[in-house]
A and B are shown apart, each in its own frame.
Chain A
Amino acid sequence: MNTTMPPVQPGRNAAPQRSLFTLGAVLAAAGLAAFLAGLLGPHPQRAWQAFLINFLLWSAMAQGAVLFSAVTHTVKARWTGPLSGLAGAFAGFFPVSLACFLILLIGKNHLFPWLHEDLHGKEIWLNIPFLFTRDGIGFLILYGTGWAYLSQDLKLKFGTSAAGGGLRRMLAGRIPQSDTDIQRVQRRKNLWGGLYCFAFALVLSLIGFDLVMSMDPHWVSTLFGAYHFVKAFYVGLGALIILAAIVHLRRGRSAGIAAAHFHDVGKLFFAFCLLWADFFYVQLTVIWYGNIPEETSYVILRTVTPPWDALAWVVFIVCFIIPFVVLINRRIKTMPGAMIALCSIVILGIWLEHLLLLGPALNHAAAELPLGVTDGLVFVGFLGLMVLALAYTLKTFPEFLPPGGEAPR
């Protein structure tokens, strides 16, 4: 239990070095440059598409990772050890994500194909002001609950001496002293944790419907929302594993992330790999079997029509086949190096999957895949932002990092 975790003295060596910040900054700059270049270039909508895709992907990672912390806490899973702490760090990306969301507003004309077509009454739901208001509120709620949960978590971790900058103090509020306080914070933490899980399901479904499904305003799939948040958790776990692995590689056993932890989180990752595939298959089968053009045309375009068919196969292989085959083996789950590689592949896969879902809607009758250097660079840029966010959070709140010393068995 987290309460039993001894208060830690974050050693300097634990916190990320400056080099990390520079790296992040460089990557981010590159991405930004590419994005701006794209905007000024002949196909601004391509730049916006890349932006949207990466926004969705990286936000999903952050949201998913934090969900890991919240959910394991809510079900009182005992096996997470330092992982749930690390997962909290991803909350650092929340503000970035929020900012990016607002930036979308600028590119609305390039981003929402339905702005230019007859919606037969769907305008009530699909219109820019309403869409941005509801989704904005959704994000606020999600990130709000997330932070609320984590701040309670931090309070418990700060322990007696909460030396540090203003933000620490502001967030931490007054540090619990007496046991009663601790219990109160405990209760709040439970509450916010539960709420975050709930908000996650609701808000990510909404985002899935609003920013992905509605891009083809005549197509619907009731499972799409759930599919979207399962995906988010999938990549979230991937990101978490990568982070944990890096920390482990940098600090060795002192990081206290035991093989068992990697094994367990690996199994969870595996489980969600299966779940993602399940949700994918479930939708495919029902639509394939029903054979109603209103539904099938969407899938046909993305799975059997060039140029998308190739992409579809790549996505399927990269997001399911590879991880499935690899993860059947249990030993691999305990090898941080291997897991970094695998998770990165999966994340890339989901990145492509977003392209598969959004691409056809945003590029009508595309001859070849709308995939180029810009897209790659924008991806890198967001990677940079993520690195920065993580580095900053971990620097400000070393409590997210595993405590030094021997790992508890």
Chain B
Amino acid sequence: MNRRTFLKLAGLGSVSFAAGCSPESPKYLYSLVQAPEDMVTGKATWYASTCRECPAGCGIIAKNREGRVVKVEGNPLHPLNRGKLCMRGQAALQAVYNPDRLKTPLLKEKDGFVPIGFDRAQALLKTKVWEAARRGADRVRLMTEVVGESQMEIFRAALKNWNSSPPVVFEPFAYEALKVANREVFGVDGLVSYRLDQADMLLAFGAEFLETWLSPVEYAWKFKAMHAARGPEKGLFFLVSPFQTLTGANADHWLACAPGTEAVVALGLVRQLLDIRRGKHLPPDLREALEKATEPYQQEAVLKLSGIPLAQYEQLVVRLTEARRPLVLGAGSGQSDANGLAANIASNLLNLLLDPELSLIDAANRHRVETAARRAEVLDLFKALFSGQSDVLILNNVNPVFNLPPENGAKAALEASNLFVVSLSDFIDETSLLADLILPGSLPLETWDDYSGWSSLVSTLQPAMGKITEAPHIGDLFLDVGFETRPVPDYKTYIAERLRKTGRIRNELEWVRTLQQGGLFPAAGQVTSASPATRPQRLPRELASPYESPPAGLAFAVAPSVRFFDGRGANKPWLCEIPDPISRVAWQSPVMIHPATAKSKGLRTADVVRVTSRWGSLEAPVYATEVVHPGLVLMAAGQGHTAYGRYAKDHGANPLGLLPSAVEPACGGTGCGLPDITLEATGRSVELAHTDGSRIQHGRAFILTTTLADLQKGPPPARAGLTMGDFPLTLPLPEGYDPKRDFYPPHDHDHYRWAMVVDLDRCIGCGACAAACYAENNLGIVGEKRIVQGREMAWLEIVRYHDERRMERVMFLPMLCQHCDNAPCESVCPVYAPHHSSEGLNNQIYNRCIGTRFCSQNCPYKVRRFNWFDWEWPEPMNLQLNPDVTVRSKGVMEKCSFCIQRIKEARTWAKNENRPIREGEVTPACVQTCPTDALVFGNLMDKDSRVRRLCDDPRAYQAMGYLNTKPAVIYLKKVLHEV
């Protein structure tokens, strides 16, 4: 019984138990408005649902304890994320329990907002819209986030009733360029998905598919499926971009091109392929046209414009042409300017040239975000509104005022007096601030809905908890206000009906089953896919005019943030507290520049600079790092809110404020960068809230790497020395003791010796594990000031090191308590607060701890965290606290416990069935959520447990093992293609 199926039981068994597997009478079972029968105090119930933190739409299961959701995890049955979840998904809870969440609707009067009842708000909305509707066509407009099909239908229907045109779907990152490229080259007017897992060589022009691009969790596991070392095999990943973000940090080769020249390189490669007679299958005229269009992109020109060294470029060409199943991904999410457009088209063409079958392009499973409107349409809407063509504007969970560059007209339009703006947001963000009525709807974890991350599947949402506000489901709200009389009793029935109509389900039972497993989809692994059918006949007209790369100047780029996405995550303390994977800076939004640039401007990390463009300016601290092109100033999107809540407000700066709002006519989108900005020192400097010390590891044995070549040579000779370099692997088991080295006698454990294996070759540094740990273990949020003081509480941190030999190479190391067999922390405690458990855990007894902090001083890994104060969980955040884990008081030491509460739970299960705990039955939160399966947990004493077998991997080592601590966390070396 492997981990997945177990989770399935834990996750869904309880629901079926709740449903009693009977088709009738499950009516109220899934909502906890009344205390449900399936609620057993002290026992968790799991509800399958869908994550709506980004348009990807991963499947989740939500853990319900005593009527409140305390944790969300990926749904193992869901083909998209296969049980995994990213940092943002983990943090979904913090929207539900956010202290700044609105509990009642707010009506704007002369002197600010006043709270009103939901009925009144609903009534008000209803009257407003129907009045408007009577006044003529298009008097009511709706701007919504990307929503599921059911909700979309209701919206359309309602708007139709109000004789207005369909809603405008607003997404800050709407992939306009990519859609055009797909239309032109694949004949698919939408967003295809990619079978990364099938590729053996990957080339991206900025697509940050591990963070935010289309469907990050999906592409994370697919990426590792091709990129993790399988014996002597390992996929190859080239990135062409002026900067690295998390995705770039995982590239084997980063070709730092000058800002705005991705397209040049892409077209150059097209040219190269044509020159070596690729693409004979293309229609001759297309081929001719292509050759003509790519004429300007001969190698010299490309190298000159992009500034990429010849060697690297040649290497790329060679590897690309040699690859058996290469796949080329286009530009990043935000890149819908000329450059992005050309780059995307070119990359699609590259795919076409490299693989006429387009076998790795999946047109059958398309990403839902394709429904988003082009930026141009959004701006048009605001123009229209401004000119007073409508009376009511309904905003469903969108924040254009924050997400759109200045001069976007949104602010002006919303402020127009004659327009009645209703925001359905749960928070007073920059947009709702301008609304006349804020009518909060219930959040995804509290609501019925469906959503199709892939066009091919249906993924359901169900209320996983009791309501903590009276907010109505958006669906129900529209059923009320959108129709004279409710067409169906409630939105839930509506969804079921719709599914029945479309023939996806036949009866109530199937409906229940669907809800139980979280949707209708093929089991993971049996996803059917189809390559695009049509092939282009003529040259995409966008390529007709040659792409002009921008003038060389200091360029500015905004990268979607792995933590905040477009900024919607900025009010979730976990996401603020978990530092950026590259800069390790939390709560703040530094501008990243290359050390050379910094030097030339006499700047040092943490100096505050003013970045100014024609459209605006901002001030932010500098962070000098080698992962950006010297000609670029990089900044992450998402922070710099002026409203939205205590955690978001006044933290960092909003880089979007520097961008032009003009759209690229060819695709109707905009870019996320601009060529010429000025960067000047303000003379001030701040203390960066960073959690790291040195950026390099000074030749120490924390992160070890090996090369593919070495790996192919076969296992290295066994190490037998005493020094850092040649100390052998000493398992935390009796056989790990050697009388020549060990003063201490070996000690036995009873039945279990818990241990973890961390495959550094799989770890992409996304930080999902850290977030899961915050959620599972009630870690305190300390805030910016105290992180500056070095008091963060993360039990598990993703340590980032730069390669001393090549500073632009970044490596990640999940660092958590190593549960050593000879843990230096234990013996120094005067009161036995930390000690070695009979199952090998390094226990920390909070009640016993008196806070001498000697353990932390003596821990070579510095993974212990101290409660300097009593941390606060402002109401209702305390509802999220995991009842199985103590909340630590001030003055005690804490650290990773290997989720001992989960071990206990598993033991109870095992005891009840009186059997030993099975392999895979215990999965700590971090292991459970890791999108790339980099973490493996298990029992070392079980000879054929996964962890034990992985210990025999030639890559296995222990961090600083020569200190003879005998860590129970065994790392597997990261595999490099070459040094």
Contact = CB atoms under 8 A, between A and B. Distances in A.
Q: Do chains A and B touch in the complex (CB under 8 A)?
A: yes
Interface of A: 120, 218, 288-289, 291-294, 296-297, 299-301, 304-305
A296 B743 contact: yes
A183 B263 CA distance: 94
B740 A300 contact: yes
Given A218-B722, A218-B723, A297-B722, A292 B740 contact: no
B827 interface: yes
A79 B742 CA distance: 49
Contact of B744 (A120, A291, A297, A299): A291
A296 B741 contact: yes
A258 B740 CA distance: 52
Interface in B182-229: none
Among A288, A296, A299, A304: residue with most chain B CB under 10 A: A296
Contact of B741 (A218, A288, A289, A297): A297
Interface string B810-828: 0000000000001010010
Contacts of A292: 962-964
Interface string B723-766: 10001000000000001111110000000000000000000000
A294 B827 CA distance: 20
A294 B722 contact: yes
Nearest to A120: B723
Contacts of A289: 827
B960 to A, nearest CB: 10
A294 B727 CA distance: 10
B-side binding surface: helix, strand, loop or mixed?
A: loop
A293 B963 CA distance: 7
A300 B739 contact: yes
Interface of B: 722-723, 727, 739-744, 822, 824, 827, 962-964
Among A289, A291, A292, A296: residue with most chain B CB under 10 A: A291
Among A293, A294, A297: residue with most chain B CB under 10 A: A293
A42 B818 CA distance: 52
A293 B741 contact: yes
11 contacts: A218-B722, A288-B743, A289-B827, A291-B743, A292-B962, A294-B722, A294-B962, A296-B741, A296-B743, A297-B740, A300-B742
A58 B741 CA distance: 34
A290 to B, nearest CB: 8
B28 to A, nearest CB: 61
A131 B723 CA distance: 25
Nearest to B965: A291
Contacts of B743: 288, 291, 296, 299-300, 304
Contact of A291 (B723, B727, B740, B964): B964
Nearest to A303: B743
B962 A293 contact: yes
A296 B723 contact: no
A111 to B, nearest CB: 23
A296 B738 CA distance: 12
A279 to B, nearest CB: 19
The 6 closest A-B pairs by CB, nearest first: A293-B741, A293-B722, A294-B722, A293-B964, A296-B743, A291-B964
B722 A300 contact: no
A291 B824 CA distance: 9
Nearest to B827: A289
Nearest to B730: A293
Nearest to A287: B743
A297 B741 CA distance: 5
Contacts of B722: 218, 293-294, 297
Nearest to B744: A291
A286 to B, nearest CB: 12
Given A218-B723, A289-B827, A291-B822, A296 B962 contact: no
B701 to A, nearest CB: 13
Given A291-B964, A297-B740, 10 more contacts: A218-B723, A288-B743, A291-B743, A291-B822, A292-B962, A293-B962, A294-B723, A299-B743, A300-B741, A305-B740
Contacts of A299: 743
B826 to A, nearest CB: 11
A294 to B, nearest CB: 5
A293 B744 CA distance: 11
A158 B740 CA distance: 60
A293 B822 CA distance: 12
Nearest to A298: B722
B737 to A, nearest CB: 11
A120 B721 CA distance: 13
Nearest to A299: B743
Contacts of A291: 742-744, 822, 824, 964
A220 to B, nearest CB: 12
A297 B722 CA distance: 9
Contacts of A304: 739, 743
Among A120, A218, A297, A301: residue with most chain B CB under 10 A: A297
B214 to A, nearest CB: 50
A296 B742 contact: yes
Contacts of B827: 289
Contacts of A218: 722-723
B738 to A, nearest CB: 9
Contacts of B962: 292-294
A290 B740 CA distance: 15
Nearest to B966: A291
A405 to B, nearest CB: 59
A65 B824 CA distance: 43
Nearest to A219: B722
A11 to B, nearest CB: 60
Contacts of A120: 723
A297 B728 CA distance: 14
A206 to B, nearest CB: 25
B318 to A, nearest CB: 39
A289 B822 CA distance: 11
Among B742, B743, B963: residue with most chain A CB under 10 A: B743
